[in-house]
Structure 1
Amino acid sequence: MSEATALKLNVGDSVVYPNHGAGKILGVSEREVMGRTQDYFEIELLQSGMQVSVPVNHADTLGLRRITPQDEIPRLLSAFTEPDLDLPAAWTPRHRREQALLQEGDVFKIARLVGTLYRRALGRSLAVTERAIFDEAKRMIATEVAVALGLDLKEAEGRIETLLEGSAAA
């Protein structure tokens, strides 16, 4: 596995895969794709139990990363209460920007997006697609917080909900 990227991930490592959330590397498999043998990380996702395969030599470009370290979780959780992101007012460019933030996989920006959408929903209801982005982003962060702090998913979701409710009262 010499092409294991700069991430240097190993079987058993907890990782985050953008748009899917936290998971654990179960193993590495070889597959032949277009006549070439490639290694794939086999990752079990925390929330769904679904297994995904990520090409080892493209893992970093696909956004696969290690779980946020436990000592960074307080900073991550405080991102929910930071000032709202400056998103376009028009729906189409705003939706594109929200999707781009999820794809980038920067957990701190995603937390700010969740906070922004939560507070926006207090003033008026979110569009169905925006609500889906909110729910997905919140779920992704909850899985990461759960793994990093050794919590069950419901407890991590509860902590996030408490922070969001507090940010609305401020």
Structure 2
Amino acid sequence: MSKAKKSEFRPDDFVVYPAHGVGKIVSIEEQEVAGMSLEMFVISFEKDKMTLRVPTARAAEIGMRSLASPDLVEQALTTLKGKARVKRAMWSRRAQEYEQKINSGDLLAIAEVVRDLHRNDDQREQSYSERQLYEAALDRLTREVAAVGGIDAEGAQKKVDEVLVARAA
């Protein structure tokens, strides 16, 4: 099987997979599927203790991407400082939009969800589903901040928290 185009992704690269967030390419392997030989990225999502196999030919189509640039991370953190924009739509519709943003893999869209759902201690309670979406978005954001900045999860969490707390002040 000839390798017509070499992929931009290599083993040990961190990548963002839209539905799961930041993962690391462990290897690229050939796999027999329905009698055809397919080249697959083997991606490990350490935090979720999950391994995913993605056909290399479909990676771009699925929306798999490289980590955000440091500039984009800064833009995302700046997004967090903005005023929450909450539409007057019914919660079910807004929840669906937040879910789509989180699963888009777009760092700025994810930051918008964190911004819009963030609550200070003195603000009204969050519903269970609001909290779930907030935590999912926050987790995606901090994992990418950590990977891009070469820092651990706690360091990234602290960095994001500082921005959110400063906004509230």
Secondary structure of 2:136's counterpart equals helix
Comparing 152-161 and 41-50, the one that deviates more: 41-50
Secondary structure of 1:44's counterpart equals strand
Does residue 42 of the first structure (1) align with residue 46 of the second (2)? no
Q: TM-score, normalised by structure 2?
A: 0.86
Q: Distance in 1 between matches of 2:98 and 2:107?
A: 13
Q: Percent identity?
A: 28
Contact 1:4 1:56 in 2 (8 A): no
Contact 1:111 1:141 in 2 (8 A): yes
Q: Distance in 2 between matches of 1:32 and 1:154?
A: 40
Question: 1:159, CA displacement in angstroms?
Answer: 1.0
Residue deviations 1:103-144 (CA, integer Å, cap 9, x gap): 211101110110110048863222212211111111111111
Q: Distance in 1 between matches of 2:104 and 2:65?
A: 11
Q: Which residue of 2 aligns with 1:144?
A: 144
Contact 1:46 1:143 in 2 (8 A): no
Q: How does 1:47-66 map to 2 (within 5 A)?
A: 47-66=47-66
Does residue 94 of the first structure (1) align with residue 94 of the second (2)? yes
Q: Unpaired segments of 5 or more residues in structure 1?
A: none
- Quickly say closer, same or farther: Cα 1:114–1:157, change in 2 above 3 A: same
Question: 1:88, CA displacement in angstroms?
Answer: 4.8
Secondary structure of 1:60's counterpart equals helix
Higher CA-based Rg: 2
Comparing 43-52 and 73-82, the one that deviates more: 43-52
Query: RMSD between aligned alpha carbons?
Result: 2.2
Q: TM-score, normalised by structure 1?
A: 0.86
